[in-house]
Amino acid sequence: QVQLVESGGGLVQAGYSLRLSCAASGLAFSSFSMGWFRQLPGKEREFVAGIRRSGGVNYYADSVKGRFTITRDNAKNTVYLQMNSLKPEDTAVYYCATGPRVVSSRDLCTAGLYDYWGQGTQVTVSS
């Protein structure tokens, strides 16, 4: 079965960096687009970044553009989210996700199209 396992979250001060990793298993990783989302308690899951299966095209929420970078290593079945210049408003649980219905670039930001989700990793940014 498909498994996504996130790691790399933690507590940092504003302005610092973190790198999240998501290790995937049980799927042909290079054939799937991948996304990162985040969620605060009581709020809907919010798109953060997405990467097409080839890795050549990346998409970001406006709130993280220029600060976050999504990359993938198909040889390691892993997707990364490098987060720089972190702000307190970046505090959330971060999830990676994938699924066969995420096909086009437009699909990347639509949480409802993702069929598989990790358990999430907490990122807390203090001011």
Residue 74's CB: how many other CB atoms inside 10 A?
A: 15
Tens digits of pLDDT across the chain (127 residues):
999 999 999 999 999 999 999 999 999 999 999 999 999 888 999 999 999 987 777 999 999 999 999 999 999 999 999 999 999 999 999 999 999 999 888 899 999 999 999 999 999 999 9
| Model pLDDT, residue 66 | 97
CA distance 74 to 37: 20
- From first CA to last CA, the distance across the chain in angstroms is 40
| Model pLDDT, residue 56 | 73
| Model pLDDT, residue 45 | 95
For residue 52 the two structure tokens come to: 């097409």
